[in-house]
Amino acid sequence: MNSTSPEAAPARLECVQGVPVMVITGRLDTHAAPIFDAQAAKLLGEKHARVLLDLSGVTFISSAGLRSILQIIKHTNRSGGRTGIFSVPEQILEAIEISGFQPLIDIYPDRETALNGSSV
């Protein structure tokens, strides 16, 4: 999954206490969404009831980026769980709220709270 250059990579996958955490940075738009989807493909190929998304570094999200996040939400739902997001900048949170995604995800103020709410 490391075929894209680091500059072009909007996400980095970490595994913390057994929970996959995707750290997303920069603009999650029409250009970045396919790159993100390719990076998320490995995760979506496995069974995960819980995935956390670190959105602290996201500066912009469009409908294309929200669709990418929806893929993760659907994936954790199919595995009987939920996706969690944390450290969400105000503007990004507003975009998520008006899109109606809010009831579908767990929103945490920071990484520690998100991990505490994700015991596996």
Chain residues binding other proteins by CB under 8 A are 29-31, 60, 62-64, 66-67, 70, 73-74, 77, 91, 94-95, 98-100, 104
**CB of residue 6 to other proteins, shortest distance in Å:** 18
Please state the closest distance from residue 90 (CB atom) to other proteins, in A.
9
Q: For residues 94 and 112, give the distance between their C-alpha atoms in angstroms, rounded to a whole number.
A: 22
| Cα distance between residue 20 and residue 70, in whole Å | 16
> What's the min distance (Å) between Cβ of 116 and other proteins?
25
Nearer to other proteins, 17 or 30 (CB): 30
Measured between alpha carbons, how far is 7 from 65 in angstroms, rounded to an integer? 18
User: CB-hemisphere CA count at 13 Å for 3?
Assistant: 7
CB distance 63 to 100 below 8 Å: no
Nearer to other proteins (CB atom), residue 91 or residue 116: 91
Nearer to other proteins, 44 or 66 (CB): 66
Beta bridge partners of 11: 24
